[in-house]
Copies of this chain bind each other. A is one copy, B any other.
Amino acid sequence: MAVQPVEASGTPAYVEKVAAMKKRLDSQIPDSLRLPPHIIDTAPLDVTGIPASSGLLTEKELAITELDATAVCEKIASGELTAVETVTAFGKRAIIAHQLVNCLTDIFLEEGITRAEELDEYYKREGKVVGPLHGLPVSIKDHVPLKGRWASAGFLATVELSKDNCLMTSILRDLGAVYYVKTNQPQSIMHLETNSMYGRTLNPWNTLLTPGGSSGGEGALIAMRGSCIGVGTDIGGSIRGPAANSGIYGMRPSSKTMPMKGYLEYQFGADGVMASTGPMCSSARDIDLFISNVLAAKPDLIDVSLVPLAWNIPTSFPKKLRVGIMEHDGVVLPHPPTLRALRVAKAKLTASGLVEVIDYKPFKHELGYDIIRELYFEDGGKVVRDLLKEGGEPILPLTEWVISPPYTKDHDATSLRALRKQRDDFKDDYSDYWNKSGCDVVLCPPFPGTANPHDTAKYWAYTAIWNILDYPGIVFPSGLKSKPLIDVLEARTSFLSQADIFNYELYNAETMAGAPISFQLVARRFNDCLLVAAQKLIESILKA
């Protein structure tokens, strides 16, 4: 295995700057944590076992890095672990992970240890924690600013050292979080894969596959246990896609509930579709830990764009939870592993008698996907081409694809208004349809298959449909993995769409072996608390 380079080349100035960035990143790997070449050269496709076998981590460090964020916080708060040993363990493992899957963009473990020392001293002196996340190592996606660290909005032209924390990293720090790494995202932050000027991030379970994107560095890092929790962003699947591909947990909250003030982006003012930010983590309870504490800090008092969401997770449901199950979206049939896991889930949920299972049929998902694709780049992608030009940066294939006609065009005010009306009508119609379905939540695929080979993630609709609707979603692992012997592709003679054919032909049971199979659970807009409670119930049934 080898970390693959960006395919295209840029201007000499670009090549020089990128070389310097990569050199800087490489120099942040301490010699003591460098994997010997023979390990890298002979690594299996599944590299998740290498941190343990590398001999670079102690038994205790290995144990610490298997914890979820909630356990980490509990153990530090009880004095069972120190903040220093915790960030050291995750930091070391993150650096090992990076050498295998190229998931990081900035490494500053020493800074994290210094902060952890302060926290340990505080704990020793005061006999209490500074906040509910005291000592928790948190990894951060590249475009989310951390004071004094590198950040970018997905293009070389936007790379900068952050002068300040954004609101999110400021709140998390006040709650006790410790920062030590930032994670890779794709060019434009608009691929469901992760290939940037820092290079391509690989899927830890099978390096021939993508970890998804755009928060793919986070997903890969957490799957490698180089982090137990991180911050991602999602405007089309960028939290849920990589969470699914790497077999971890991730939630895209309803937009404008979690603070994004100060995040880097390159289309400020573009509000046709709203991004959201949320946790990528190791357990369902970590989602609650993260969101409840961030909201308790009242970010809406500082970020006036936010809707104040009351965070009260119901402990029971007034009547039996109605779980819609959507096997496919009517446009692209998922690959066999995904269908298998969903059918198993359906059988278990039905048999449990604890929820009411409903067959959920999709409503015009193709139309919704068409509309959101157009909303992403209302100027036809001019802003992207300008930024690439400014940096002398070559356009990557998935960037070219996402800004290309006919899915984007350069609008004027009149056509833009028409497009947004189309969006609003779609949301209204979908809402009526959902209400008639009677579902509280819908369980569905997060992608038309498990992790896919690099440069092929072109059908985002399984996640993006919920972005246009702004329905919150949680992705969580089914516990199952793709198995060539079981997951055999049936011969098909009829197809739902061109995208269906593309996806069908993409499937290769051998290539995709070992990929985690994940679920996506969605609820109506602002029903985030219901969603968290429903996911907990459903997961408990599936794991029973």
Which residue numbers of A lie inside 8 Å of B, CB to CB?
261, 267-271, 300-305, 307-308, 310, 378-380, 382-383, 410-414, 416-424, 427-428, 430-431, 435, 469, 524-526
Contact = CB atoms under 8 A, between A and B. Distances in A.
Contact of A417 (B268, B412, B469): B268
Nearest to A310: B310
Contacts of A416: 269, 378, 413, 416
A378 B424 CA distance: 18
11 contacts: A269-B417, A269-B419, A269-B421, A270-B417, A271-B420, A304-B524, A307-B307, A308-B526, A379-B417, A383-B417, A413-B416
Given A310-B310, A526-B300, A269 B427 contact: no
Q: Which of A269, A303, A308, A422 has the most CB of B within 10 A?
A: A269
Contacts of A419: 269
B424 A267 contact: no
A414 B382 contact: yes
A102 B431 CA distance: 40
Contact of A413 (B379, B427, B428): B379
Contacts of A270: 417, 420
A302 to B, nearest CB: 7
Contacts of A382: 413-414
A175 to B, nearest CB: 20
A124 B68 CA distance: 63
Given A269-B422, A410-B413, A418-B269, A427 B305 contact: yes
A269 B420 contact: yes
A299 to B, nearest CB: 12
Contacts of A268: 417, 421, 424
A432 to B, nearest CB: 8
Q: Which of A271, A302, A380, A421 has the most CB of B within 10 A?
A: A271
Given A269-B423, A526-B300, A526-B308, A261 B417 contact: no
Given A270-B420, A379-B417, A304 B427 contact: yes
A319 B431 CA distance: 42
A163 to B, nearest CB: 16
Given A303-B431, A307-B307, 10 more contacts: A269-B416, A269-B421, A269-B423, A271-B271, A271-B420, A301-B435, A310-B310, A378-B416, A379-B412, A412-B413
Nearest to A300: B526
Nearest to A418: B269
A248 B336 CA distance: 66
A220 to B, nearest CB: 32
Given A269-B419, A420-B270, A526 B307 contact: yes
A425 to B, nearest CB: 8
A14 B526 CA distance: 46
Contacts of A524: 304
Contact of A412 (B269, B383, B410): B410
Nearest to A423: B269
Nearest to A429: B304
The 5 A-B pairs with the shortest beta carbon distances in the complex, nearest first, are A269-B421, A269-B420, A304-B431, A379-B413, A269-B417
A424 B307 contact: no
Contacts of A422: 269
A497 to B, nearest CB: 26
Contacts of A301: 435
A415 to B, nearest CB: 9
Contacts of A300: 526
